[in-house]
Chain A
């Protein structure tokens, strides 16, 4: 069983989804199966994370094909923790969905639960795979489910928002496919560990094509992660579906893009990161500013939060662009904090919309009176996003800024600090307009079972702040592991593998 643990996060949701498809129409049963299956998965992933804490790199060869030929799954500290985060976020979203009844009976009956399992399978696959074409396939699994979830229930707004979302991501997939093709043409391999052996040895035209491929892949991941020039689909797409779905998207879907940037950037392009790093840092800084300025102008709450997704992704991409151990560690820590906080804020926004029956902040008002607990939770989450001590966001921004100073990137680091102020401003705006002031309409009964998931997520974020040191140590270890590409080569291809000992498929064919 232990040997098969790496493939479990893919097979388990798939099996659950298929099972759920057979329970069509029986919402109660679907809820129970979904919940039990997710809890089981979380237990397995905690065990898996514990195993990965030793620094092992788990490799699973699908169909037992030897490494550079077959598809391999590989897991390290970062992927193990991302798996866990994805499942916890999914659990929170699903629990919220049926505890709050916000999805509506029809959406739940028509495959909300199987779709959540399918998207989780795609996300987990993307976190686990060690093969770049396989990464493309997992992206498609994830995206196809996300297309369905965005348009599920089919109101006019959801359908209208669905088309650009689909078009942009489909376009991204085409670039991905072309980049993978070029990569294969130049190197003759698709296995990431094998690629990390081949890429440093490339010269002349091949090296130039490789640079171009690297940038193409970053564009693809940038579209998924919604960084500055490629973010335009997100503020329209994410607020359209019900809160539970946009919370999962806001928490996890964009992080898959960042995760792939980290994975491909360190492993495949480890040798030639100078140009890539410069581009990523600039793009990151611009995302922070443009995203937060977009957020400041908004009054529709989930649209506002969607702009914050862009700005927070900027921090991640900037930290990654440093390509130092401290930078990567900061990115890992930031990702932990931010996945949880963003998901909780989207859920809180859902509750606020639920209570006031409005999605416009200017029409809310007086929520403090109706829902004091919610106000407290928002207070923690909002200040955490803005980076105020003692919440987790402070530590996350702190490590990013320290890493920036260490590399003498004063301008970008300054942008990171300024963005923090604007974030605080827009959180104050939500607080001011929605929680304070007079009631501007009838309010519903505030406390429901579904709000427990908000509590769960916020307490996670508080935990991150309280145990900053061990979590940060973990992030540093994960970063060190990411930079040691030789370890991946040893684990995947075996001891003593070099670029010349393994045949590259079409090199000889030429």
Chain B
């Protein structure tokens, strides 16, 4: 299970990075989304995947699953959601304003 998860994390990071290196903003947005999913899965993996165990330690519970990682991921998802929404709006506004959706900045020519 952990190997499978590790492979999934690797694939997400790989494809995410590839998309981030493209020139156009929409691919960049998708790449960022994949990257953050990769990071979230990585954290989930770090808490060790254990099935059918309670997350809360009460009397008589010796085997438990780690609830903290889920709290961390939840926080990260919320933040990622907000930032992605902002990035989408920004790339759209930039497309409207500049007339193209390339990521590069072209310096205005300065006469010397």
Docked pose: A167 CA to B104 CA in angstroms: 12
Set A143, A144, A182: member contacting B46, Cβ < 8 A: A182
Do residues B66 and A182 form an inter-chain contact, with CB atoms below 8 A?
no
B7 contacts the other chain (CB 8 A):
no
Mark out the residues of chain B between 81 and 100 whose CB falls within 8 Å of any chain A CB in the assembled complex.
Answer: 82-83, 86-87, 90-91, 93-94, 97-98
Band of interface residues on A: 35 or more
Return chain B residues, CB-CB under 8 Å to A181. Answer: 39, 42-43, 45-46, 69, 72
Band of interface residues on B: 35 or more
Return chain B residues, CB-CB under 8 Å to A157. Answer: 108
Docked pose: A42 CA to B51 CA in angstroms: 51
Docked pose: A488 CA to B45 CA in angstroms: 30
Q: How far is the CB of B98 from chain A (nearest CB, A)?
A: 5
Docked pose: A156 CA to B96 CA in angstroms: 9
Return chain A residues, CB-CB under 8 Å to B83. Answer: 140, 143-144, 147, 166, 170, 173
Do residues B98 and A299 form an inter-chain contact, with CB atoms below 8 A?
no
Main secondary structure of the interface of A (DSSP, over half): helix
Return chain B residues, CB-CB under 8 Å to A171. Answer: 20, 32, 35
Main secondary structure of the interface of B (DSSP, over half): helix
Do residues B94 and A509 form an inter-chain contact, with CB atoms below 8 A?
no
Which partner residue on chain A sits nearest B79 by CB separation?
A140
Set A133, A154, A160, A182: member contacting B72, Cβ < 8 A: A133
Q: How far is the CB of B67 from chain A (nearest CB, A)?
A: 9
A180 contacts the other chain (CB 8 A):
yes
A493 contacts the other chain (CB 8 A):
no
Q: Beyond A162-B94, A181-B72, A362-B112: 11 further Cβ-contacts under 8 Å?
A: A140-B83, A143-B83, A151-B90, A173-B79, A173-B83, A178-B43, A180-B43, A181-B42, A182-B46, A184-B46, A185-B47
Could you list which residues of chain A lie within 8 angstroms of chain B, going by C-beta atoms? 133, 137, 140, 143-144, 147-148, 151, 154-157, 159-164, 166-167, 170-171, 173-174, 177-178, 180-182, 184-185, 236, 299-300, 360, 362, 505-506, 509-510
